Amino acid sequence: MFTTVGILAIQHASKKQKRIAQNIYTVINNSDKKVYFKPETTIGDFQNNGAYAIDPFKKVSYAIDGIATKLHKDKVYKITNGIKVTVNSDGTVTPDYDSASYLEIVYFTFVGGWLSSPPDSTWDKLFECAKKI
């Protein structure tokens, strides 16, 4: 048991360090509409409680907490650490687990995906953007 936990912890730390070194927190917008993102934390001018546009066919490389796409007017997509996503032409979201550790994949299974209500007030602006797309 302790060996398994140790291996998972080492693999998680290794994946995280690789992402940091390569700046791999990415959302790719392959749709013809803007999508909006909420950063995981405040990053420069991007406030944790804000919502910021990603133009069509562009990408961003930040630690992203969630995105709003044209698919839902009343939902946003929760992204967890280590998961990269692509927004498809119809607004659906395809997660990419290549940069994620096993622990992050399991966590995403329980916490990631479409949210119907803001988990806290820092998500309010992103939910407002979803209504306008």
Domain ranges of the chain: 2-132
Strands 84-87 and 26-29, by their bridges, are parallel
Backbone φ and ψ for 96, nearest 5 degrees, come out as -125, 120
pTM above 0.75, yes or no: yes
DSSP, residue by residue, 4-28: HHHHHHHHHHHHHHHHHHHT--EEE
**Which tens digits make up the pLDDT trace of 73-108?**
999 999 987 788 999 999 999 998 887 878 888 888
**Which tens digits make up the pLDDT trace of 10-65?**
665 665 666 555 655 579 999 999 999 999 899 899 999 999 999 999 999 888 89
CB 93 within 8 A of CB 69: yes
Overall average pLDDT of the 108-122 stretch: 95
